[in-house]
Amino acid sequence: MKVGVDTGGAVLLGDNVVCDAHADRNYRVVTHIHSDHLGGLRKSISSCDGVIMTSATKDILSILKGPLINEDTFTLEYGESLNLNNEVITFYDAGHIIGSAQVLVEDEQGLRLAYTGDFRLPNAEVIPADGLVIEATYGNPSHNRPVREEIEGELVSLVKECLDDGNHVDIYGYHGKIQEALAILRDSGISVPAIMSNKIHTITQVTERYGMKVGNYFSSEDDEGSEIIQNCGEYISLHHFNTKRTFDNTSIKILLSGWHFNSSMIRGNRGEFIVPLSSHSDFDGLIEYVEQSDPRVVITDNYRIDNAGVLAKEITKRLGIPAFPMPF
């Protein structure tokens, strides 16, 4: 079966398609904007017949990668199909972050090969497949966390409490997740301004354009944003997770990290709060996806995380479906 993950992290589907890293194929798919899924993108754009992604992913990558993302990259939306030589490719919502896609490739004999990319149930649509490549981020049986509603409730309660005490709140996460957190807060009725860097502001504009409700938000580098900060009013500030070491002691810090499983909110070593608002399915979600997809064989992605071997064994043991980590 023509499905697998090579030693460079490229997910191979059928004869024509490679996903989330470069390989010698006609078409490259970018499932979403996170860096571990962008390997070799420049080479793919220069050498493949086409690089394919959703419109939302293309718009955000245009911000992150600049001129590299141009008219030579193609867009495909959820539920749309495209003929690629002797195969058909279709995108499905992965429910991970805005624009994230799952990929299905079907050949002329009806063989269905699917790749989940990073995904989160129940937002993701399960793809019935013959061969399935699945992410393994939380592939250990111990990687189950409280229900999503409980985690979101803790986030909302913590932010409300901090604002009521007259503090502003700094929220740290990765692109896509911080915008999702802001939308959760807006849906709960928290309407104070949100302040962010120019780059995050521009990405937030894209998420708003694709339907995310993010309320009032300003760049910290513009006059309105600077004035809100100087006046020390009530506001939320969004930061990329990689800047978290720049902490000061003037606000409440909330880190959005999925690597916590026993509580819906943890107080960290330096006084910050950790909220496990993950954009990935936990272990039970991974097993549920495979069970519903009902493939003949499963490949667990062993390039991006080291839980793939454990997940493969658990899939075979629990569901009786042959499963293998790749690359070996």
- In this predicted model, what pLDDT tens digit does every residue of 188-218 receive, in sequence order? 999 999 999 999 999 999 999 999 999 999 9
Residues whose CB is less than 8 angstroms from the CB of residue 250 and which lie 6 or more positions away in sequence, other chains included: none
Whether the ω angle into residue 327 lies within 30 degrees of 0, i.e. cis, is: yes
Based on the domain organization, do 204 and 270 belong to the same domain?
yes
Give mean pLDDT, residues 279-308: 97
- In this predicted model, what pLDDT tens digit does every residue of 21-49 receive, in sequence order? 999 999 999 999 999 999 999 999 999 99
Q: Report yes or no: 18 and 27 within 8 Å, Cβ to Cβ.
A: yes
Based on the domain organization, do 23 and 100 belong to the same domain?
yes
| Residue reference for tokens 């409280």 | 146
Its domain, for residue 245, covers: 148-275
Assign residue 179 the CATH number of its domain: 3.40.50
Distance from C-alpha of 202 to C-alpha of 3, rounded to nearest angstrom: 37
Q: What share of the chain is helix, strand, coil (3-state, %, to 5)?
A: 30, 25, 45
SS3 182: helix
Distance from C-alpha of 258 to C-alpha of 277, rounded to nearest angstrom: 6
Within 10 angstroms of residue 147's Cβ, the number of other Cβ atoms is 9
Based on the domain organization, do 129 and 12 belong to the same domain?
yes
Distance from C-alpha of 47 to C-alpha of 25, rounded to nearest angstrom: 9
Q: Report yes or no: 192 and 218 within 8 Å, Cβ to Cβ.
A: no
Q: List the one residue out of 50, 59, 60, 129 whose CA is nearest residue 85.
A: 50
pLDDT: is 267 or 313 the higher one?
A: 313
Give mean pLDDT, residues 107-125: 97
Based on the domain organization, do 115 and 66 belong to the same domain?
yes
DSSP character at residue 76: -
**Strand 266-267 to strand 273-275: parallel, antiparallel, or no bridges (unpaired)?**
antiparallel
Based on the domain organization, do 271 and 290 belong to the same domain?
no
pLDDT at residue 92, as a whole number: 98
Based on the domain organization, do 250 and 319 belong to the same domain?
no
Based on the domain organization, do 87 and 156 belong to the same domain?
no
Q: Kindly tell me if the per-residue pLDDT of 244 is higher than 70.
A: no
Joined together, the tokens standing for residue 151 give 């985690």
Based on the domain organization, do 38 and 125 belong to the same domain?
yes
Q: What is the number of domains present in the chain?
A: 2
Question: Percent of the chain beyond pLDDT 90?
Answer: 84
Based on the domain organization, do 74 and 196 belong to the same domain?
no
